[in-house]
Amino acid sequence: MPESLNIIDLITQASLLVQIVMALLLLASLLSWVIIFRMSARLGTAKNFDQQFETWFWSGEDLAKLYQGVQGSPERQGLEQIFYVGFSEYLRMHKKRQPKDDIIDGVERKLRVGLGRQQQLLESGLTTLASIGSVAPYVGLFGTVWGIMNAFLGLSQTEQATLASVAPGIAEALIATAMGLFAAIPAVLAYNHFTAKSSRLYDSRALFCDEMTGMLQRETSAESTVGRDSIATRETTSTANQAQGL
């Protein structure tokens, strides 16, 4: 308890600028922890949603029925939203009877756009963590330099220079460095951790986009083959009828 009181006394007796630096570092630390908890919950929820949707997607249900189910979802996110924008583009271009290659290109573009937007939502807050992790130590160092400078200026005004007279000023200055590290270390660790997790989610979603594109490409090719067979059958029948008429 005495140590805690001594630290508090050092903080309250510090110069105004050092106190401002400490307050800023404390706010930065609190902000980083808020972001850490939010991102942890967001990434966990996104992973669970993606796993549930992939299970549904690979259950063998018809894509049109799957699309209708997704369309009625009040809050689409992750793979669900990516699938929705991609299949919506497929239906739109298919309805206009666009060429097969144009349909697939359009779907790929929409899937990339959807993937990018979902990744932006997923990584919201990472930039702030990176900024806190990189800037906080220097802010703390600035407070330390300022505090030590004031301590030595005060020492120069005393007749007898002793360690006891300069130690409090140096101690309060070093607290700023400690607070800077306290704010920066968790932010850096969390940034690296969340970057790795979001990168794995991105890779999984990108693989899903490739698989979905392949499925739609096969479906489009099958429809084209059926159409060509139907045309060939009609032409054969027409030729046979003409021959009989002759």
* 8 Å CB contact between 70 and 76: yes
For 112-126, the pLDDT digits (tens) are: 999 999 999 999 999
pTM, two decimals, is 0.77
Average pLDDT on 92-120 reads 90
Give CA–CA dist 113/48, Å, rounded. 22
Report, in angstroms and rounded to the nearest whole number, the Rg of the chain calculated over CA atoms.
32
Q: Residue 79 in contact with residue 202, Cβ under 8 Å?
A: no
HSE-CB for 157 with a 13 A CA cutoff: 6
Can you tell me the mean pLDDT for 77-83?
Answer: 92
pLDDT of residue 228: 42
What confidence category does residue 172 fall into, taking pLDDT thresholds of 50, 70 and 90?
Answer: confident
Q: Say which residues have a Cβ less than 8 Å from residue 62's Cβ, sequence separation at least 6.
A: none
Lowest mean pLDDT among 27-31, 91-95, 108-112: 91-95
- For residue range 179-233, what is the model confidence (pLDDT) as tens digits? 999 999 999 999 999 999 999 999 999 999 999 998 888 887 766 554 444 433 4
Which tops the pLDDT comparison, 162 or 216? 216
SS3 for 115?
helix
Q: What is the DSSP string of 19-84?
A: HHHHHHHHHHHHHHHHHHHHHHHHHHHHHHHHHHHHHHHTTT--HHHHHHHHHT-SS--THHHHHH
Quick one: DSSP state of residue 74?
S
